[in-house]
Amino acid sequence: MTAARKLILRPIRAETRRVAAMTAWVRRARPPGDAFGYHRDLHLILWTAGMLTVVEGALTHLILVLIFGHPPWVWIVLGLHIYGVYLLFGLLAGMMTRPHTVDGPIVHLRNASGTHVSFAVADVDSVVLGERPEFGHSRWRTSDDGRTATIASGPAILRVDLVENAGVILDGSPIPLAPKHIHVSADAPREFAARLTTALSRQPDVGRCGPVPAEHQ
């Protein structure tokens, strides 16, 4: 895929995912399986910012109409406010409708922007708790050698280690070189690790999750 095509498709894909998340939010639709959320601390902030933007936009539009009437630029300002509200609630909807899940034999890792990573429980070698390096954003990223990946924003607090030659699916397409380590954000990392351990123990003749350190609650 050319760079120009990527630049065109990226915003289209982002808007499509945002609309899908908001639709799922309104319909109260959630992916199947045991869900584990992330960024719970941001939910109230986004709610507050969204409501303040609604009020600010309404008051600003009213004042501008009273002073300047109805020139096109006044409606452009209103449109920008509406789009700002849409972005804030789209992000919140993504966080609430795209949790990580363990659905039978498959693990699904997601983020608010729509990235979806999945692999078999049987491909999990170990799960390690503990704070990881700070990452600037939550999209899927891999190290230069492709062996370490992250789907975390801020300090990742869970690391999933995979067996060699694991089958990892990224947004519907297999990854040619699957990462060995995946850093993840989760609101309840201990519960997520325990669920992976339980799921793995039910798999016949496969690896096992490593011990969960007691220092991280």
pLDDT the model gives residue 113: 87
Indicate the residue type of 98.
Answer: R
pTM of the model: 0.83
Kindly provide the b/e burial profile for residues 39-50, where b requires at least 16 CB atoms within 10 angstroms of the residue's own CB.
beebeeebeebb
Strands (E), the chain: 34-36, 100-103, 106-110, 116-120, 124-129, 134-135, 141-142, 148-151, 154-155, 158-162, 168-170, 173-174, 181-184
pLDDT of residue 206: 42
pLDDT of amino acid 13: 87
Q: How far is residue 53's CA from residue 78's CA, in Å, rounded to a whole number?
A: 11
CA dist 117 and 123 (Å) reads 13
**Tell me, what's the pLDDT at 211?**
40
Each residue's pLDDT expressed in tens, for the chain with a length of 217 residues: 577 777 788 888 889 999 999 999 999 999 999 999 998 888 999 999 999 999 999 999 999 999 999 999 999 999 999 999 999 999 999 999 999 999 999 999 999 988 999 999 999 999 998 876 655 555 788 888 888 888 876 677 889 999 998 999 999 999 988 999 999 989 999 999 999 988 887 766 544 444 444 333 3
Buried b (16+ CB within 10 A) or exposed e, 75-87: eeebeebeebbbe
Query: How confident is the model at residue 216, as a pLDDT?
Result: 36
d(CA 55, CA 147): 47
